[in-house]
């Protein structure tokens, strides 16, 4: 009702409405006093019994909505939440190729030309820029997407040299590598002198910063120092996994370090056989 919002003109418009009510259009016009939101100069009408008969909703204190742990699949290899470990190979791993693989932007050192999924690549780009701004170092994308055939060759190389037990400590079996998801990147920098063989990077300025700040960009440190029995991998201060900002932030805020613990999955210290 326009009349309801214009104060002193209510009476005049009501009069017009009453004139219409006398005519053929009367049935289509609501009575001027029916609008419950109408600020009116006329005395307010007490609510009728039917207005108060509806029970009020329980007034629980407001709580933030619980994090939805089912928002993405942890089984679908296309999902940014897929959990891959020694007990959870990629589904159809011999044939799986992640969607939207892209080369990294040219301003990111990527000496071996590894690709990532586009969403992970964008986040990595932002993280490299933030490290440069906040730490002053230059990060390097050391190893990203590895396809199944590359993993077959890598594992075979170590198996020939070290045997199965030795190879399993060094390289994921084909179909069990998080690198095949296109969501994992091994990160180094140009100044620490560290490599992918020792924990050195974990105490370098960039490694410390990444461990504390990667969640802001949707990454988690996938193989923390004290979680080998859960993840099946030794401490890898260079290996970061993209899971999206929502999940990475939730894990950061709740202090849960591994995907296995967060999703209530069994520990995966070793292969089934
Ligand atoms: Zn890695």
**Per-residue pLDDT tens digits for 218-273:** 999 999 999 999 999 999 999 999 999 999 999 999 999 999 999 999 999 999 97
Q: What is the pLDDT of residue 57?
A: 65
> What residue spans of the chain are helical by DSSP H?
10-21, 49-52, 118-134, 148-170, 205-213, 228-231, 245-254, 259-262
36 C-alpha to center of ligand 1: Å? Answer: 63
- pLDDT (mean) for 14-37: 41
Q: How far apart are CA 161 and CA 260, in angstroms?
A: 31
Helix, strand, coil: what percent of the chain each, to 5? 40, 10, 50
116 C-alpha to center of ligand 1: Å? Answer: 13
Task: Establish if 31 belongs to a structural domain.
Answer: yes
The yes-or-no verdict on residue 122 having pLDDT over 90 is yes
Q: What is the pLDDT of residue 222?
A: 98
Domain that holds residue 44: 2-52
Question: Is 250 found in the same domain as 156?
Answer: yes
Q: What is the pLDDT of residue 110?
A: 87
Q: How far apart are CA 69 and CA 91, in angstroms?
A: 20
Task: Establish if 32 belongs to a structural domain.
Answer: yes
Question: Is 135 found in the same domain as 13?
Answer: no
17 C-alpha to center of ligand 1: Å? Answer: 76
The yes-or-no verdict on residue 30 having pLDDT over 60 is no
Question: Is 147 found in the same domain as 29?
Answer: no
1 C-alpha to center of ligand 1: Å? Answer: 65
pLDDT band at 8 (very low <50, low <70, confident <90, very high): very low
Task: Establish if 72 belongs to a structural domain.
Answer: no
Q: What is the pLDDT of residue 91?
A: 96
Question: Is 124 found in the same domain as 14?
Answer: no
Q: With beta carbons less than 8 A apart as the criterion, state whether 211 and 153 touch.
A: no
pLDDT band at 56 (very low <50, low <70, confident <90, very high): low
Q: With beta carbons less than 8 A apart as the criterion, state whether 225 and 202 touch.
A: yes
Task: Establish if 215 belongs to a structural domain.
Answer: yes
- pLDDT (mean) for 17-41: 42
Question: Is 224 found in the same domain as 150?
Answer: yes
251 C-alpha to center of ligand 1: Å? Answer: 20
Task: Establish if 89 belongs to a structural domain.
Answer: no
Question: Is 191 found in the same domain as 126?
Answer: yes
* Number of Cα atoms under 13 Å in the Cβ half of residue 80: 19
Question: Is 229 found in the same domain as 167?
Answer: yes
Question: Is 255 found in the same domain as 125?
Answer: yes
Q: What is the CATH number of the domain that holds 106?
A: 3.30.1380.10
Q: What is the pLDDT of residue 263?
A: 98
Question: Is 47 found in the same domain as 106?
Answer: no
Say which residue the tokens 């002053």 belong to: 136
- Give the number of domains in the chain: 2
Task: Establish if 87 belongs to a structural domain.
Answer: no
151 closest CA partner among 166, 169, 171, 170:
171
The yes-or-no verdict on residue 171 having pLDDT over 90 is no
Q: What is the pLDDT of residue 54?
A: 57
Q: How far apart are CA 159 and CA 242, in angstroms?
A: 29
pLDDT band at 41 (very low <50, low <70, confident <90, very high): very low
Residue of 236, 250, 257, 261 with catalytic role: 236
Mean pLDDT of the chain: 85
Residue 116 is inside which H or E element, if any?
A: strand 115-117
Q: How far apart are CA 61 and CA 225, in angstroms?
A: 40
Q: What is the pLDDT of residue 204?
A: 98
Task: Establish if 67 belongs to a structural domain.
Answer: no
Catalytic-residue membership of 236: yes
Question: Is 106 found in the same domain as 30?
Answer: no
Question: Is 255 found in the same domain as 173?
Answer: yes
Q: What is the pLDDT of residue 248?
A: 98
Task: Establish if 90 belongs to a structural domain.
Answer: no
Cβ count near 54 (within 10 Å): 7
Say which residue the tokens 């897929």 belong to: 82
Residues 6+ apart with CB under 8 A from 114: 104, 141, 142, 143, 144, 145, 146, 185
Q: With beta carbons less than 8 A apart as the criterion, state whether 137 and 127 touch.
A: no
Question: Is 126 found in the same domain as 13?
Answer: no
The yes-or-no verdict on residue 108 having pLDDT over 70 is yes
């Amino acid at each position: 009702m326009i009349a309801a919002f214009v104060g002193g003109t209510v009476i005049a418009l009501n009069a017009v409405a009453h004139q219409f009510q006398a005519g053929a259009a009367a049935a289509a016009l609501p009575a001027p006093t029916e609008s419950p939101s109408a600020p009116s100069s006329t005395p307010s009408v007490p609510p009728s019994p039917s207005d108060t008969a509806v029970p009020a909703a329980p007034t629980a204190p407001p709580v933030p909505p619980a994090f939805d742990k089912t928002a993405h699949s942890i089984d679908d290899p296309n999902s940014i939440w897929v959990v891959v470990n020694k007990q959870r190979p990629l589904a159809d791993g011999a044939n799986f190729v992640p969607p939207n693989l892209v080369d990294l932007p040219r301003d990111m050192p990527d000496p071996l030309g590894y690709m990532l999924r586009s969403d992970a690549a964008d986040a990595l780009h932002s993280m490299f820029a933030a490290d440069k701004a906040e730490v002053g170092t230059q990060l390097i994308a050391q190893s990203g997407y590895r396809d199944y055939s590359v993993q077959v060759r890598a594992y075979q190389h170590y198996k020939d040299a070290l045997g199965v037990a030795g190879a399993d400590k060094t390289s994921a079996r084909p179909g069990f590598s998080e690198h095949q998801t296109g969501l994992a990147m091994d990160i180094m920098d140009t100044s620490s002198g560290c490599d992918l063989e020792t924990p050195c990077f974990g105490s370098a300025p960039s490694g410390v910063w990444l461990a504390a700040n990667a969640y802001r960009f949707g990454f988690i440190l996938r193989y923390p120092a004290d979680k080998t029995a859960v993840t099946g991998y030794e401490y890898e201060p260079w290996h970061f996994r993209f899971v999206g900002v929502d999940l990475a932030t939730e894990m950061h805020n709740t202090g849960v370090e591994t995907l296995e613990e967060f999703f209530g999955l069994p520990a995966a210290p070793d292969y089934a056989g």
